[in-house]
Amino acid sequence: MRSQISISKLARPEIVAMKPYSSARSEAPGEGVLLNANESPWSLLPDSKLNRYPEPQPQRLVSRLANLYQVNRKQLLVTRGSDEGIDLLTRVFCRAGEDAILQCTPAFGMYAIAAQTQGVDVVSIPRLAADNFSMDVDKLLLTLANDTRLKLIFLTTPNNPTGDSIDKATLLKILQSVNGRALVVVDEAYAEFSNKASFCPLVTEYNNLVILRTLSKAWAGAGLRCGTVIAQTEVIDLLGRIIAPYPLASPVVELAERLLDPEVLSLQQQQLQALANNKQRLFTILKAQNYITDIWPGDANFILIRLDDASGLMRYCGQQNIILRAFNNEPLLQNCIRISVGSNSDLDSLETVLKTWKTT
């Protein structure tokens, strides 16, 4: 373990001093004659336990996620998607009107939303559009050295929506540059689609590193809203002080546990391979359209493209019930469209529309 400053010194002092809410289920297990939580003694739905509160941090689910990500269960907090993890981090470590977060734009929009909701400034370092949207590492490091307001550094790998990934050497430079001053939050929502290793093992060594993971993407669980914050126990304890008493509903916990059953793993691996194959097919389809000027395949389950009349293509696709994603509010992504990798039938429909657009 590296010698590092206590993370508690970076958190808002009122959070450090706070005595967390103690729910009925956290004080006593949900077994026996339960007369401590003002619950209904009966369920209205047969074969359900919806009348009872779930575990605050469901131990079976926590254990399965810790095994999946190869971390200690005490280094893990289950949240309502990654969005809640982002919000918790911002509320614990950023003081309104005083602190700031940093992001490398274009980036996932919830980083800025969480900061703005908390009354915290957002420092944005534009990516290098001419270099496949890679991070401007030199400008990033210079900003980190000079801006003492920064408390959270949000990085995404692979990045959404550009698809580029962060190398380990770059991450280590960033971690070391803000050691004792800020947390580095690495959002690995799309990590399973990349052939690059996860940064989860580094959590044990760096107490200012936080990893965000989710079941929404590669685990086909977007409807569950089940995410994970991975960090050293000091960070997890601080986040646990303000998280909702019961963040995950009982049906969500049950379905998430089923999703992580060993027999589902083989199906998940098959789906990942199918998506990899379909991504190659999507790339081939896009490359065949001469009106597309730029293609960025990236490392995730989507491809970013640019063309002269992106709004026209978006309208035409919408008329054919093909729904894509544009980024009109992002200066670096004007005339860019992000296309998710779909099923074979999805790609059949998309290919037809792309081929007929310029002939209509």
Contact criterion met (CB below 8 Å) for 304 and 327: no
CB atoms closer than 10 angstroms to residue 341: 21
Is-above-0.85 flag for pTM? yes
Contact criterion met (CB below 8 Å) for 126 and 146: no
Q: What is the pLDDT of residue 62?
A: 98
Q: What is the pLDDT of residue 28?
A: 85
Q: What is the pLDDT of residue 128?
A: 96
For the chain, which domains are there? Answer: 7-260 (3.40.640.10), 264-359 (3.90.1150.10)
Task: Give me the tens of pLDDT residue by residue for the chain, a chain 360 residues long.
Answer: 455 688 999 999 999 999 888 888 888 888 889 999 999 999 999 889 999 999 999 999 999 999 999 999 999 999 999 999 999 999 999 999 999 999 999 999 999 999 999 999 999 999 999 999 999 999 999 999 999 999 999 999 999 999 999 999 999 999 999 999 999 999 999 999 999 999 999 999 999 999 999 999 999 999 999 999 999 999 999 999 999 999 999 999 999 999 999 999 999 999 999 999 999 999 999 999 999 999 999 999 999 999 999 999 999 999 999 999 999 889 999 999 999 999 999 999 999 999 999 765
Q: What is the pLDDT of residue 1?
A: 46
Q: What is the pLDDT of residue 186?
A: 98
What residues contact 164, with CB distance under 8 A and at least 6 apart? 127, 132, 133, 134, 135, 157, 158, 296, 298, 299
Sheet holding 302-307, edge to edge: 292-296, 302-307, 336-340, 325-326
Contact criterion met (CB below 8 Å) for 218 and 267: no
Q: H helices of the chain, where?
A: 13-17, 24-27, 59-69, 81-93, 110-117, 137-146, 168-177, 233-240, 250-259, 262-287, 310-319, 344-356
Using DSSP's 3-state secondary structure scheme, residue 229 falls into strand
